[in-house]
Amino acid sequence: AQSVTQLGSHVSVSEGALVLLRCNYSSSVPPYLFWYVQYPNQGLQLLLKYTSAATLVKGINDFEAEFKKSETSFHLTKPSAHMSDAAEYFCAVSDRQNFVFGPGTRLSVLP
């Protein structure tokens, strides 16, 4: 069975600081991995996804994530946080039928 863990339910950074949101997964097959963002009172939107091509994946709004098989990780980073990045972030792993989502990490950006 697949599963996803996200270390830290709430992360706070200062505006302009590095953003690092952690995601670890378990999967019995080569995984497809995703990061989604949820702004207040909205649905989830795709930030980026890994589908076995390049291990460093670039997404929207300068976010990127690196797939590390040896660490079973897919951490999300952004060099410089903006106030508009404040949201809930979900990591997910996919097999043919289902998505399994992590519990989410709420990112706060302090002025």
Partner 1 sequence: NAGVTQTPKFRILKIGQSMTLQCAQDMNHNYMYWYRQDPGMGLKLIYYSVGAGITDKGEVPNGYNVSRSTTEDFPLRLELAAPSQTSVYFCASRDGTGSGNTIYFGEGSWLTVV
The footprint of partner 1 (CB under 8 A) covers: 9, 32, 34, 36, 41-46, 49, 51-52, 90, 92, 94-99, 101-104
**Least distance in angstroms from the C-beta of 98 to partner 1:** 7
In angstroms, the Cα distances linking 85 to 21, 62, 108 are 12, 11, 8
Residue placing its CB nearer to partner 1 in the complex, 62 or 95 = 95
Kindly tell me which of 19 and 50 has the beta carbon lying closer to partner 1.
50
Residue 107 phi, psi dihedral angles, 5° rounding: -100, 125
Q: Do residues 92 and 33 touch, judged by C-beta distance below 8 A?
A: yes
| DSSP bridge pairs for 8 | none
* Least Cβ distance, residue 71 to partner 1 (angstroms): 21
